[in-house]
Structure 1
Amino acid sequence: MTLTEHEVAEIERANGAGLRPVMFIHGLWLLSSSWDRWRGVFEEAGFTTIAPGWPDDPETVAEARQTPEVFAKKMVQQVTDHYLEAAAALQQEPAVVGHSFGGLVAQKVAGEGVAAATVAIDPAPFQGVLPIPADALKSAFPVVGNPANTRRAVTLTFEQFTFGWANALEEAEAHELYDTFHVPAAGLPIFQAVTANLNPFSETKVDTKNPDRGPLLIISGERDHTVPYAIAHSAYKIQAKHNEAITEFVELPNRGHSLTIDHGWREVATAALEFLARAGVAPASGT
């Protein structure tokens, strides 16, 4: 068992609520607390929520910055297994919402047939997604530019964070997000994603053909440098081609990779809630 006491308590709370759970999955350079505002909105809408961290994640941003080494060497399947464990402990099949590498993990979870519906926001590419735009390469370079980062945790400079995450924001808000949310992140998952199409055994592989995958929405930020439109839309086309379940794509104008945490986060949360309603995933128990 890899779940922490806090995560177990969240799952027990969700099970006791008798409501449809929503499981949030964060990506690199964030903690699960980055979903706190989302969780409030989804619970106001009638759902119950859980937001497990990645294995060994610190509890707070301050602690994360003091102990960056705990993030090193995390791998995509290790993280996926952690969320699968959380999903298995829930008494109702969860809706799953993930951002960035969390969006990749969310699709892997859905591919296991354990999600009622899935929303992948600016998702990192899975094996078979071929486009690699120049902006994505530049965003990844602080990690992949040094092979030693496969064994390290990497902290972005403010300038790197601005290009990859906050390019659609005013500088003052970019500083606020960097100071409030940014933490070190494992370099290894990015190497796994970059080399996925050269490795037949890549951990970024997603089962897009599982008939039990459930409805899927992919949301893309128009100005995202880290996961540009070409990557997100390629994932959508593969999913839609291989699966008969509802598969939708939404591009949000003038939004960058920070879209889940910046001033426009509520617009993205609303798009996710509206999709769950269209997909027939209601918050009430048994529906």
Structure 2
Amino acid sequence: MAATRPTVVFVHGLWMHADSWKPWMELFRAVGYEPLNPGWPGEPGTAAEARAHPERVANRGIAEVTEHYAQVIRSLGTKPIVIGHSFGGLIVQKLLGMGLAAGSVAIDPAQMRGVLPLPLVQLRNALPVLGNPLNYKRAVALTPDQFHRGFASTVSREESDALHAKHMIPSPARPLFEAALANLNPGTAARVDVNNPSRGPLLIIGGGRDDTVPEVISRAAHKLYRNAPTVNDYKVFPDRGHSLVIDHGWKEVAETALEWLSNHGLSPSAMGDAAFMGTKPAPTTEPRAH
């Protein structure tokens, strides 16, 4: 009896359409995974349609988006691997903390409660959204200049403009406000259960030249897991910015994630064997957060 291909659910962040994960999906499918890239609630099927109808995603918050993905996962019948970028990186950590995922890779994850650094460069790039309280219930787009300054700051302007034209969509501003106020709100939706003992392993990836989620934010998120009874690893790409999952260097990041999954018993062969035998993947002795 053939083992079932393990599922990987990809979760994008603000200003990206779900189709931005397609190169990753092709790579993961080629090595034996079954990839899924559900959009955020209300997100149209194409970037062009999303740009034409920003109202469909307006006023969607972290809790609603997380529950949307939780419902997708519950419908699968088995725990998938979850991989997310930016606010998707925060959401996959929440899903992992809820016990819904076999393992997770969070890339440049947005702030969660407990992350204290607030770099000036991050404030500067968030100001076009956070500077207007009326944006809270709106969907907001990035101009090509804003996209290059913050999101794709480490690639050429030509590549940045091409990425903006292909992938950029208006996104709800509400998650940005929620993350910005997370440490002032004990009931914030930007909270992650970092100590759930049934959590699967986690890899956090930071970009050393990221001006949207500076590397100090990713590293601070990793440190919140220092007492967790689970595997929590960290990797930084020193010369990469926030566009590291979609720009010309995306494959290096994706292959790093694949290698880490394999090292932690989450390869297609290991997960297929575990499912067939009715067991969980073997535990790992890799270093935890410190």
* TM-score where L is the length of structure 1: 0.92
Aligned ranges for residues 38-187 of structure 1 at < 5 Å?
38-187=24-173
For these two proteins, the number of residue pairs brought into alignment is 271
CA contact (8 A) 1:97 1:106 kept: yes
Match of 2:202 in 1: 216
Q: 1:191/1:76 Cα in 2 relative to 1: closer, same or farther (>3 Å)?
A: same
Corresponding letter in the other structure for 1:260: V
Report the CA distance between 1:254 and its aligned residue.
Answer: 1.2
Aligned ranges for residues 180-219 of structure 1 at < 5 Å?
180-219=166-205
Report the CA distance between 1:17 and its aligned residue.
Answer: 8.1
Aligned residue among 239, 258, 266 for 1:281 = 266
Runs (5+) with no aligned partner, structure 2:
275-290
Distance 1:185 1:83 in 2: 17
Higher mean displacement: 242-251 or 186-195: 242-251
Corresponding letter in the other structure for 1:253: P
Match of 1:24 in 2: 10
Distance 1:65 1:48 in 2: 28
Distance 2:258 2:200 in 1: 16
Is 1:245 matched with 2:200?
no
What is the DSSP-based 3-state SS (H/G/I as helix, E as strand, rest coil) of the residue aligned with 1:87? helix
Runs (5+) with no aligned partner, structure 1:
1-15
Corresponding letter in the other structure for 1:98: G
Report the CA distance between 1:122 and its aligned residue.
Answer: 0.2
Once the two structures are superposed, residues 227-282 of structure 1 have per-residue CA deviations (whole angstroms, 9 ceiling, x without a partner) of: 0011000000102x131211111111211100110000001100110110111112
CA contact (8 A) 1:165 1:226 kept: yes
Corresponding letter in the other structure for 1:20: P
Distance 1:259 1:202 in 2: 28
Distance 1:158 1:49 in 2: 30
Report the CA distance between 1:115 and its aligned residue.
Answer: 1.0
Report the CA distance between 1:151 and its aligned residue.
Answer: 1.1
Match of 1:9 in 2: none
Is 1:226 matched with 2:226?
no
Q: 1:17/1:192 Cα in 2 relative to 1: closer, same or farther (>3 Å)?
A: farther
What is the DSSP-based 3-state SS (H/G/I as helix, E as strand, rest coil) of the residue aligned with 1:156? coil
What is the DSSP-based 3-state SS (H/G/I as helix, E as strand, rest coil) of the residue aligned with 1:242? coil
What is the DSSP-based 3-state SS (H/G/I as helix, E as strand, rest coil) of the residue aligned with 1:74? coil
Higher mean displacement: 117-126 or 82-91: 82-91
Distance 2:250 2:49 in 1: 25
CA contact (8 A) 1:119 1:219 kept: yes
Distance 2:190 2:273 in 1: 33
Distance 1:279 1:37 in 2: 23
Q: 1:208/1:158 Cα in 2 relative to 1: closer, same or farther (>3 Å)?
A: same
What is the DSSP-based 3-state SS (H/G/I as helix, E as strand, rest coil) of the residue aligned with 1:118? strand
Identity %: 46
Corresponding letter in the other structure for 2:93: Q
Corresponding letter in the other structure for 1:116: A
What is the DSSP-based 3-state SS (H/G/I as helix, E as strand, rest coil) of the residue aligned with 2:213? coil
Corresponding letter in the other structure for 2:20: S
Once the two structures are superposed, residues 151-176 of structure 1 have per-residue CA deviations (whole angstroms, 9 ceiling, x without a partner) of: 11111111111111111001110110
* TM-score where L is the length of structure 2: 0.91
CA contact (8 A) 2:196 2:228 kept: yes
CA contact (8 A) 1:17 1:48 kept: no
Which segments of structure 1 move beyond 4 Å, counting only runs of 4 or more?
A: none
What is the DSSP-based 3-state SS (H/G/I as helix, E as strand, rest coil) of the residue aligned with 2:224? helix
Match of 2:285 in 1: none
